Structure 1
Amino acid sequence: MTVAPERLAKALAAVPPLDGSGADLPSTPETVSWGWMPGAGDGPVLEVAPGSVVSVDTVSHEGILGDQGRDPVRFFGGFGVPGEAVLDDAAAIASSPLSHDPSADGPHVVTGPIAVTGARPGDVVSITVLDLVPRVPYGIVSTRHGLGALPGEVIGDDPVFSAFCLVEDGVGSIALRADDPERRARFPLSPFLGFMGVAEAERVHSVAPARHGGNIDVRLLGVGATLHLPVQVPEALVGVGDPHFAQGDGEVALTAFEAPLRASLRLDLVPADEAAARFGALSGPLGETPDLWIPIGLDPDLDEAMRDAVRGSLDLLTRCYGMDRRQAYAYLSVATDYAVSQVVDGTKGVHGSIRKADFR
């Protein structure tokens, strides 16, 4: 399915690829872990002081995975993308001797770890997203290997299906039919990093989110948002990746519009005593925007993920606003939306949206 050359050329001209210059941390075979969140034993590829701003060039796994040929120039060329419009770092990672066993490793390219000087267990690292810039104007939504919300129902016996998406005139587009790439649906873009995490003692598989954060896929965590993560090991060892141009709550097909971003991130450190006063006993990821608190529930059972999100919401309201727990329960029922973050990662996600303005 090749997009008309003139259409692709217009998209490429509107969102020109960025080179590697200007990034504090490029994604290279030496600075990434493929399929795993680095653990305490992995040496940092960058060390920064608390409050530092880091520019990270993230790479999407779509187009470099083995079931897509592990050759992004050839893979994206099948959709009409010229070789010079394929990122050098994606090609370098795909062709490198980095081991990647899809039966054992996760798909995600995790850039890091980044050491935050002075971070200790009990502290909280706060990752604030200052800017997200598309590095190319195209990407992939994929379904594969009996995964997603409807395993086996949609793509049949095919091991993988890759739908090509474009950025056109500032919005995303996807073909209505695989055999007719010119008739397209259009949808708004809302870039975010699906993966932001801190290290645990051992390496953690990149797919399942947990207390360390990781692959939480909460689409509200775009520019201006902050993810608060309880530090598990000295220096925190932050890893990021899984860049998205857009995603619907649920992410039902398995992935969303996966495509590389240049991310500008500020890494703040909240000491343990201050963290206890602000967050209480924070046991997992907590999102925040200027307007919202975003409690995140995680569990292999979607019902339990929902309960986890509600409990986290109650804890937040009681410690931040001194709200009676029963009154908070009633407030959540009348004023807070809960959405399914994703149902495709083994560990399911539910996130709430608590308006800060309700308490001013």
Structure 2
Amino acid sequence: MCVLILYLLISTSIVTADNMNNSASDEQDVVNFLSKYGYLKPLNNDINSNNSIRYKENYNEALFNFQEFYNLPATGEINQETLKLIKQSRCGLPDAVLSDYTLHPKKWSHFNITWRAHVGDSHIKSLVRKAFSIWEEFTNLKFTETPRNRYPNIFIAFTARKHKYFIHQRECSSDFDGPGNVLAHADFPNDINVTEIHIDNAESWSYSTTVDASYSDSPSLLNVIIHELGHTLGLEHSSVNTSIMYSFYSNSRSKLDQDDIWAIQNLYGIKSKQKPTFNVSTTTTQKSLLTTSTPKNVTVLPKDNNNNKFPDLCSLQTIDKFLIVKTHLYIFYKKNYSNLS
């Protein structure tokens, strides 16, 4: 009997110690993640040595901001949903925790943007062209492949671990980490008019041009290039998990979400030949205040799948965002919008 009690006590102690070690390891992983992706200012690698109340408050606030941005249970404490998400493959750029979509302060000052891919495989080149065409579809941007004797605006290259920029041969500050985790990273538009996209060569890439569940174990190169191109055009990460600019990888995203379209058009305008229009026909009812005998074209944003039931503007204390397109002012609140023009 005494032997059994002693065995139970020892077993309980081992389990408790393991749980404490796992908890400390999880917390260190979360601290490293929050520091790397812009939520927490790095302090000391050993979190146990930081007994500052202020540091604890900063850590909890940073974790809360991350959880809120990615629509996780926002408690400021570690939970399973948080641990699961931070272990997923993602883009190597930090997050800008502001709204659904976020725009970088800089964008291209011209609409004709040149590019070059440092790859010999013709199939990969075709994926790159397809990725550019997806962004080109919704704006007046024009992407042109440039010859080797000229600097491109966007340069795409495969690299691994510690690496340099290909154009200016300076050290890249973001090392890759082998298979999984960080898949790629990119520059935002800058004053030298040259940006680079670096893709981790250690990944087992899928070169499929369509969404296919059979490729779920391999990241889609097309999806990742589309995402990184968004950065080179001036888009930050989005908190909308169906957005191509969502930082964590999913093989189900190979086209722009409405969130992405609003973001890119906010920067570069709506593609001229694809402005959605409808005809306002002459209709006379008892409630009509104005009739017209000639139809006219009216530019509108496409409606979402909801019935766009926008609440009374005077009843709102805050809005999510607004967008100005020529003489139209669009107010966005949750999944609905109102056109004030």
- TM-score calculated relative to the size of structure 2: 0.27
- Could you say which structure has the higher strand fraction? 1
Structure 1 or 2, whichever has the larger Rg, is: 2
- Could you say which structure has the higher helix fraction? 2
- TM-score calculated relative to the size of structure 1: 0.26
Question: Greater RCO between the two (CA within 8 Å, min separation 6)?
Answer: 1
